[in-house]
Chain A
């Protein structure tokens, strides 16, 4: 079975500071990993994904994430946070192979303070 853990319910960061949203995963095989962002009363917007290749993945809006196989982590990062980055962030994983759906973490609310 696959699962995702987002250990922080809430992350607060000052505007202009770097931000990190943590994610660890568990799959039986190799993972496909995704980050999505959700604004209030909206669906999810795709940020970035890791399938294979370079462990550092760059995505939309200046976000990036680093795949660490030994630590089974896929933390989301941004060098300089903006107030407009404030939203709910979801990490998701899917096991390679088959028609398996994404499994989501519980979400982390990011608040960027001006």
Chain B
């Protein structure tokens, strides 16, 4: 199956700093990548959808200036949490899809962000 990696797997930062999370599709080209957020014992909440070379589409209630998404290539997307606060602490999971909507979405292992 297709492999999606995320880096870092875990990060702890101070309040007010910015954190960048990378998502890579290792053995396929991903035309579309997704970023999800998961709170403890809850489902995945879609934050944004990004297509390579274009601006991300954010879900309602997600601040695009706070959660910056860049999909610079067909194998890399980054999520930057700017001016992080403790309430941004969460498990962030990226997902990648090769092409059309019939394709499977493959998920990265997730990044645990803790903001002190």
Contacts and interface: CB of A to CB of B under 8 A. Distances in A.
A98 B101 CA distance: 7
Interface of B: 1, 4, 6, 32, 34, 42-44, 46, 49, 51, 91, 93, 95, 101-102, 104-110, 112
Interface residues on A, range: 20 to 34
A94 B4 CA distance: 20
Majority secondary structure, A binding face = loop
A104 to B, nearest CB: 5
B101 A99 contact: yes
Interface of A: 32, 34, 36, 41-46, 49, 51, 90, 94, 96-107
Contacts of B109: 42-43
A98 B57 CA distance: 14
Nearest to A60: B1
A104 B45 CA distance: 8
Contact of B101 (A43, A46, A97): A97
A94 B101 CA distance: 8
A96 B104 contact: no
B42 A44 contact: no
Nearest to A100: B101
Nearest to B32: A99
Contacts of B108: 43
Given A101-B34, A101-B105, 15 more contacts: A41-B91, A43-B93, A43-B107, A43-B110, A44-B44, A44-B95, A44-B107, A46-B106, A94-B101, A98-B101, A102-B46, A103-B46, A105-B43, A107-B42, A107-B43
